[in-house]
Structure 1
Amino acid sequence: DRVLSFCLRHTFLVFLVFVGTAAASVWLIQTSPKGFFPQEDIGQISVTTIARQDISFDAMSRLQGQVASVFSHSPYVDHVAWSAGSGNNALNQGQLFVQLKGKDQRPDIEKVLADLRKQLAGVAGIETYMQPVQNLRLGSRSSASAYQLVVQGLDTGLTDIWAQKLNDAMAADHASFTDVTSDLQNNALQATLVVDRDKAAQLGIDTDTLRSALYGGFGTDQVSTIFGSADSYEVITELDPKIEWSPERMLAIQMRTASGSLVPLGAFARVDRTAGALTVNQLGQLPAVTISYNLPQGVALGDSVTRINALKEQIGMPTVISTTFAGTAKTFQDSLANQGFLVGGAILTIYIVLGILYESFIHPLTILTGLPSAVLGAVVALRFAGMDLSVIAVIGILMLIGIVKKNGIMMVDVALELRREGMSATESIHKACLMRFRPIMMTTLAALMGTFPIALGTGASAELRQPLGVAVVGGLLASQALTLFVTPVIYVYMENFSGWLVGLWSKRKGEPGSVEAGDQPSLFKPREDMLPEPQRAAAE
């Protein structure tokens, strides 16, 4: 009661506190790291492996087995399933699915990933990219890492060059990015057999004979079928898979001539070795390279977007090369652009509904003055908890808009009723605060007790919900501490402002009871017709 009376006596000081709170809320929202959805720990890891572009399937399988062995021997891993060169991937890529042990038998997933990265660094000849599996995943693109950046241009060679430069710059920035890779596959060592057709014709070897002979050794030439009692088996010829092939070894293959004699392949052919592309990717009929990356712990997705733009300027990327985000990163950008409209739309809707209920343009603003303190508390709580301003946190702020305004509604409802009974604005809001203090405290405590377990982050997939709980708890605590004293002061100002507008309108219309000349209405001093009945009679 004494604190409230002090605030109502020093309204301008409290008003400055309100303005400072609103300014601090805007500044914190603008400077807070922006994120998308918090990373869940459901105990599963998706792993992509990439070896050199010209590796054979057998060599890739051996390396993939070594990687799987590292996971299998980890004390945090329950089981591993893996494949190499399957599906739509190139032969130099593989996939692993890792199931971790329960949370009570291991640390959090970030520490597990850090430990596994150290162990996998000892496997030479293959790169490993890990990302935790998420229950909620937006963005249709799949890649080695969680976030994607697409580099495009009209010229394939120029696009590849600048995509590689940007990829290298991001990989070197360990503070902002990790697990940086791209789908650029343009440096595979290829062997091309060039046949001298004139010499081959002199030996009686035509193109079909040569193709058939080589396909029988290196392809999948089915020569027979073995039928069993319940199944059949295809018989496929091949050269000894243990042979380590080289251009010289290939040119030593014996070919039968038309006369029946054997001659080496090198008698009429040679092997040219060149670097070529395994795949050429396009997006919208333009050459495209997709760079994928993960974020180190503590780095927000919004900060990484800003850092990529800075790296583009740093390396001097030309304007003919364009970059766009894809997958989860693109969805994040779209959501970030719409968050302001979402929050503004919610506030506007509440203002319209309250305006209809109170038949006033003024007092809905009085009720909404509790929002800056709630937003300030929510963002400060997120900062202290080390969380970014994610979509889940914004949902928590939207919940706060609905929860916090009930404090103002309780006070303003009673104050307006007391005003109709003849009390002054200051007396009515003072008494209303005292009368509604207990319901305000009880409803706030009920909301706090409901969201506090969420803020603690316990249970399955708690990481996804925790920012919502932290934002609501922080916002409720801050708004409860400030709105009980700020809202009454704003109410008094709004009542004075309303009376000032009425007097000004009456003067312009020249209606009876208008303000006399020289008796200008004051914004900070109540008009006489706003005073209680006894005081009004004395004034007359």
Structure 2
Amino acid sequence: MFLSDLSIKRPVFATMMMVALVVLGVMSYRRLAIDEYPDITYPVIIAQTTYPGASPEVIVREVSKPIEEALNTVPGLKEVTSSSQEGVSIVRLMFHLNADVVGAQQDVQAKVSRIRRQLPPNIEDPIVIRFDPNDRPIISVAVQSSERPIREITNLADEVIATRIEAIQGVGGVNLSGGARRQIRVQLDPAAMRSYGISPSQVSAALQRENQEVPAGRIRRGATEQLVRVTGRVVDPATFANIAITVRNGVPVTIADVGTVIDGIEERRTAAELDGRSAVSLDILKISGSNTVEVADSVRSVVGELERQLPPDIKLTVIRDDSKRIRESLDAVQSELMLGAVLTILIIYLFLNSWRSTVITGLTLPISIISAFFAMWMFGFTVNTMTLLALSLAIGLLIDDAIVVRENIVRHIEMGKDHHRAASEGTSEIGLAVVSTTLAIVAVFVPVAFMGGQIGKIFFQFGVTVTFAVLVSLFVSFTLDPMLSSIWRDPEVERHRARKRDRENERDLARGAPPELQGGIAAQAVQHQSAAARTNPAHDPHRSRNPINRLATAFNDQFERIADRYPRGLAWSLRHRLLILVGAGASIGIAFAIYPSLGFTWMPEIDGGEFNVNFRTSPGSALGYTTGKGKEIVAFLKSRPEVDFTYLSVGGGFRGTVNSGQIYVRLKPKNEREKSLADIQTELRVALRQIPGVRPAITGTPSIFGGFRQPIIVNVQGPEPSRLKIAAAQVLAAIRQVPGIAEPNSSEEGDIPQLDVRVDRQQAWAAGLGIESIASTLQPLFTGQRATRWEDQLGYTHDVIVVYPDSMRTSAEDVANIPVMSNNVNAATGQPSIVPLSQVAEVRAGVGPQQIERRSLERQVSISAGVLPDFALGDVAAAARTAIDNVGLPPGYSTAFTGDVQNLDETKGFVLEALLLAIIFIYLILASLFGSFVQPLSIMLALPLSFIGVSLALLITKGTLNVMTMIGIIMLMGLVTKNGILLVDFTNQERERGLERTEALLGAARIRLRPIIMTTIAMIFGMLPLAMALGEGSESRAPMARAVIGGLLTSTLLTLFVVPVVYTLIDDAVAVLMRKRVRAVAREPEPVAGD
């Protein structure tokens, strides 16, 4: 081959190419960011609108529906959903995967701005953001103090700690939860306001009017000028009480006359506790694309500095740190990669029995792996679990080509050729087959890299990394390996050649004896030689003094004896072809019989040492009640010896309400606890049933594979709300009975208590009031209306709000007594009349929904559930579908599965598509190699032979069919063809040299057995550390390695016999067709002259 001959003739050139690859790889590695998973752009945009105090019914009618209808025409939109809760509307837009998300966000922003005037005037401006799972906090810090009140802790966290952290490069933001900010509250006295004829809006106007600084211009004095300003800012919060609202009979009415000024805290809607003590939590988000580990390290460094600078009673504790999990996971993958490389090198040495040959072959590994970092940098990848997993799985693949090339070069040296000639001819002889095997492997990873859906985005970096590394290994095998083989003479090869010659002489001696004595003579010769060597090692001129060499020699001698029997077994198979085909078919049938019992899941369960307990209390529950229930769950968790610490948060999060909470649970390391994560969660589920008034849901930690919600989500849709509730309740009841279902919950949790103010329009008009004036009066009194902002001595600003005291807004009577300022004028005072609300409206207790969901412009209720350990997601989902079908929903009402179930269904289709493309690409490569349309079938019909190994491996290890195992099966398609290519290609070469078919097959099988077995065992041992699942998070990676190892074992053993049998059958079929064609041509009458 040109490339290998050029490298042999110009060794410096070949060396410099290798150095260039390594230098590029090392420089690229230093520039790569480190993250847990690939940075994926999700085609999801969220429009969030806050409408303080509005009920879900008002939110959906006045905010969510108008926004949905306006955005439903955005190009590329796949689906629109919305969730309307108290005071907030969240509209979620899912676009097609190939949509331009940046452009779509601009379109959404423009459409929302266009309809802004149609929305209520007192909402906060809608926020349009792109959803990114990487926007979740990468590290969380709890701030606690045993001496300071929550207000002071919150201000310290917000104004000092958060400010320092936000200045760190790579930090995208800091979210605070569990605290209560400082707030100046003007609490009004209804009786005093009625007495003075003052309304809440007048109080707010006075506060805003009297607390401001107004520029008045400038004055000039000679060559200078000075600014003139009116300074009316309030310096001391107590001064707010002296502000005059109006004048009655020449006497000012001040804030102190109608209310009380309190320098306090905002109304608490969130709470947080770390190990049972109140805390303020800071959730730190990173900028997309920044290095997670570096950002987390910087945050830890700043936290350490702050703790030394802050008062001693302030304690800063890192609650969660994704960088720790990332480090542990990446360290585990790196360890598995290194251990796999070492085991692979040992296998090579065991077979080649030469440290020089091992070095020549083994150099392919570091060069290919290091150069892969260059491709990762060029494509904008990161060092993450998927890219390192690709390199770990590819250990055996990367050295595969080098093994085959070096083994064939050694074979030519043992034929008596000099090293230059052996390197050139040995590489050329095997070159086309090696290229074909590499292209076959590439052919299966290219479809993996370009799969559709979420799975395609996740595995894109995996497929590209493997493809580049394998192509580099091919390049190294055709340059560095033949070059080193030509200039670096190996004495061990000469010793092996002599030993081989002795064995051949022994076989010749045995063949020369009568048949009945052949085995005995050969055995005696070997036994005599072995005895002489044991008595006097010097007696054996080919015996090494190195004990490791002697062990490898003994192994190779035993392997050669077994290999010598292989042609006899193959000859028997060729005589019993039907029996071999029946056996192969039976293995495939058994595999397909096992697969259904394995079950389908989206991703394997991982014991990452952490999980979340999401819980809800009854609708309408107060913050204190929900916090108390959370403490009960925490108490149980803390009683478990496996728990390291817990962090309780109530009311926080993206959609948090005061009746919802979350408990983050961190377990002790696996080597310090007796029970697994699944066992602990099972015990917790039993304990949670004993806590009344709590609806729990146990979930894993979020990642790109899920964990944000429960794995099973069923959306029930229908037009009419009351009937939809009934249908959803029926679906929930049906799902509860499905085996394997855990914590089924409904988004329709029940109605929350509320007060309805029903205005009598006639009375209101007579009193000079309208609906708007009544609503504008009530809203700020209960939600708190920000009148102005006050700046403290340090320059920090705090809200000044006007509100009713908590004690005066607890009942319908309190609401009915609220004074409302009318447009009518009081004849006695000349001021606007003040009337009680009860004069113009009736205040009644009622109920309303806590949350309203919509999908595709239609109302829905979501049913969510988890899956118990030892149950497969696919099986549980199938049983749930059957149970729902038996419910019999009325016309117009339907159900649809989303979440992990939808991901699993989509993944099956994408994997099958990738598998089909891989098989097509493999056929194209094989047909090109063999120059035949039918001969590739002899190899491709052996592809299903790996299925029995996969099924048995998963059955023995109690695994399931999931994303990882499916990718492993696709990977096997390329690996299985490798063995067949080596066998069939050499058979064709032998037949071209004039050998008869059977003789060529038997000869090729014997010669190619060593590289086939060597490469297979090298690949198996390279993946063995992955399959053993020893490191952090390895449970997710192990199934792929186990599937590949099991498939390699069975496919290799079966291929050695099935491929030759199928080869002969196809060859016979072609021969029969050719003979028929010849006969047909012979029967055609010769043309008559003159016709």
Give me the TM-score of the superposition, normalised by structure 1. Answer: 0.83
The corresponding residue for 1:110 is: 678
Amino acid at match of 1:132: G
Judged with a 3 Å threshold, the aligned counterparts in structure 2 of structure 1 residues 29 and 498 are, in CA distance, closer, same or farther, namely: farther
The corresponding residue for 1:3 is: 569
- How far apart are residue 392 of structure 1 and its match? 0.7
Amino acid at match of 2:608: I
State whether structure 2 residue 730 is matched by structure 1 residue 165.
yes
Q: 2:752 aligns with which of 188, 199, 216?
A: 188
Which one has a bigger Cα radius of gyration? 2
Amino acid at match of 1:229: Q
The corresponding residue for 1:77 is: 644
Q: In structure 2, what is the Cα distance between the partners aligned to 1:437 and 1:204?
A: 101
Q: In structure 2, what is the Cα distance between the partners aligned to 1:256 and 1:14?
A: 94
Alignment of 1:134-533 (within 5 A): 134-137=702-705, 142-143=708-709, 145-173=710-738, 175-194=739-758, 218-221=782-785, 228-230=792-794, 231-234=796-799, 236=801, 241=806, 245=810, 247=812, 271-510=843-1082
Post-superposition CA distance 1:211-246 (Å, at most 9, x none): 688667633145787654224554556566579945
Q: Is the 8 A contact 1:25 1:373 kept in 2?
A: no
- How far apart are residue 101 of structure 1 and its match? 2.6
- How far apart are residue 430 of structure 1 and its match? 2.0
- How far apart are residue 79 of structure 1 and its match? 3.7
Q: In structure 2, what is the Cα distance between the partners aligned to 1:200 and 1:19?
A: 87
Q: Is the 8 A contact 1:70 1:120 kept in 2?
A: no
Amino acid at match of 1:116: L
Q: Is the 8 A contact 1:186 1:275 kept in 2?
A: no
Q: 2:665 aligns with which of 79, 98, 101?
A: 98
- How far apart are residue 159 of structure 1 and its match? 2.6
Q: In structure 2, what is the Cα distance between the partners aligned to 1:209 and 1:439?
A: 89
Post-superposition CA distance 1:107-137 (Å, at most 9, x none): 3221221233334334332222121115432
> Secondary structure at 1:48's aligned position in 2?
strand
Judged with a 3 Å threshold, the aligned counterparts in structure 2 of structure 1 residues 497 and 206 are, in CA distance, closer, same or farther, namely: closer
Q: Is the 8 A contact 2:939 2:1059 kept in 1?
A: yes
- How far apart are residue 468 of structure 1 and its match? 0.7
The range that moved more, 497-506 or 93-102, is 93-102
The range that moved more, 59-68 or 406-415, is 59-68
- How far apart are residue 350 of structure 1 and its match? 0.6
Amino acid at match of 2:965: A
Amino acid at match of 1:430: L
> Secondary structure at 1:315's aligned position in 2?
coil
Q: In structure 2, what is the Cα distance between the partners aligned to 1:354 and 1:192?
A: 76
Q: In structure 2, what is the Cα distance between the partners aligned to 1:208 and 1:454?
A: 67
Q: In structure 2, what is the Cα distance between the partners aligned to 1:16 and 1:66?
A: 63
Q: In structure 2, what is the Cα distance between the partners aligned to 1:401 and 1:225?
A: 68
- How far apart are residue 489 of structure 1 and its match? 1.6
> Secondary structure at 2:704's aligned position in 1?
coil
Q: In structure 2, what is the Cα distance between the partners aligned to 1:111 and 1:464?
A: 18
Judged with a 3 Å threshold, the aligned counterparts in structure 2 of structure 1 residues 58 and 250 are, in CA distance, closer, same or farther, namely: farther
Amino acid at match of 2:1026: I
Post-superposition CA distance 1:342-398 (Å, at most 9, x none): 212211211111011101122211122332221111122112221111111011112
The corresponding residue for 1:129 is: 697
Q: Is the 8 A contact 2:650 2:658 kept in 1?
A: no
Q: In structure 1, what is the Cα distance between the partners aligned to 2:779 and 2:928?
A: 82
Post-superposition CA distance 1:257-310 (Å, at most 9, x none): 9899x9998788654333321222111111122222211112222212311220
The range that moved more, 219-228 or 484-493, is 219-228
Amino acid at match of 1:124: P
State whether structure 2 residue 605 is matched by structure 1 residue 39.
yes
Count how many residue pairs are aligned between Structure 1 and Structure 2: 507
> Secondary structure at 2:851's aligned position in 1?
coil
Amino acid at match of 2:744: V
Q: Is the 8 A contact 2:780 2:802 kept in 1?
A: yes
Q: 1:88 aligns with which of 628, 647, 655?
A: 655
Q: In structure 1, what is the Cα distance between the partners aligned to 2:770 and 2:933?
A: 93
Q: In structure 2, what is the Cα distance between the partners aligned to 1:240 and 1:270?
A: 22
Judged with a 3 Å threshold, the aligned counterparts in structure 2 of structure 1 residues 385 and 502 are, in CA distance, closer, same or farther, namely: same
Post-superposition CA distance 1:306-327 (Å, at most 9, x none): 1122012221224522222223
Amino acid at match of 2:928: I
> Secondary structure at 2:621's aligned position in 1?
coil
Q: Is the 8 A contact 2:818 2:837 kept in 1?
A: yes
Give me the TM-score of the superposition, normalised by structure 2. Answer: 0.43
Q: In structure 2, what is the Cα distance between the partners aligned to 1:208 and 1:441?
A: 84
**What do you get for the CA RMSD once the two structures are aligned?**
3.5
Q: Is the 8 A contact 1:71 1:77 kept in 2?
A: no
Q: Is the 8 A contact 2:987 2:1000 kept in 1?
A: yes
Q: In structure 1, what is the Cα distance between the partners aligned to 2:920 and 2:774?
A: 78
- How far apart are residue 41 of structure 1 and its match? 2.7
Q: Is the 8 A contact 1:179 1:294 kept in 2?
A: yes
Q: In structure 2, what is the Cα distance between the partners aligned to 1:479 and 1:254?
A: 83
Post-superposition CA distance 1:61-84 (Å, at most 9, x none): 443444445445543133415131
The corresponding residue for 1:525 is: none
Judged with a 3 Å threshold, the aligned counterparts in structure 2 of structure 1 residues 102 and 469 are, in CA distance, closer, same or farther, namely: same
Q: In structure 2, what is the Cα distance between the partners aligned to 1:441 and 1:86?
A: 56
Post-superposition CA distance 1:163-182 (Å, at most 9, x none): 22111221232x22112112
Q: Is the 8 A contact 2:649 2:662 kept in 1?
A: yes
Post-superposition CA distance 1:376-429 (Å, at most 9, x none): 111221122211111110111122112222221222122222222333322321
Q: 2:625 aligns with which of 44, 53, 59?
A: 59
Judged with a 3 Å threshold, the aligned counterparts in structure 2 of structure 1 residues 209 and 350 are, in CA distance, closer, same or farther, namely: closer
Judged with a 3 Å threshold, the aligned counterparts in structure 2 of structure 1 residues 59 and 238 are, in CA distance, closer, same or farther, namely: farther
Gaps of 5+ in 2: 1-564, 1085-1091
Q: Is the 8 A contact 1:41 1:132 kept in 2?
A: no
- How far apart are residue 160 of structure 1 and its match? 2.5
> Secondary structure at 2:705's aligned position in 1?
coil
The range that moved more, 150-159 or 459-468, is 150-159
Judged with a 3 Å threshold, the aligned counterparts in structure 2 of structure 1 residues 249 and 85 are, in CA distance, closer, same or farther, namely: farther
Could you say which structure has the greater relative contact order, defined with CA pairs below 8 angstroms and 6 or more residues apart? 1
- How far apart are residue 52 of structure 1 and its match? 1.2
Amino acid at match of 1:110: A
Amino acid at match of 1:118: V
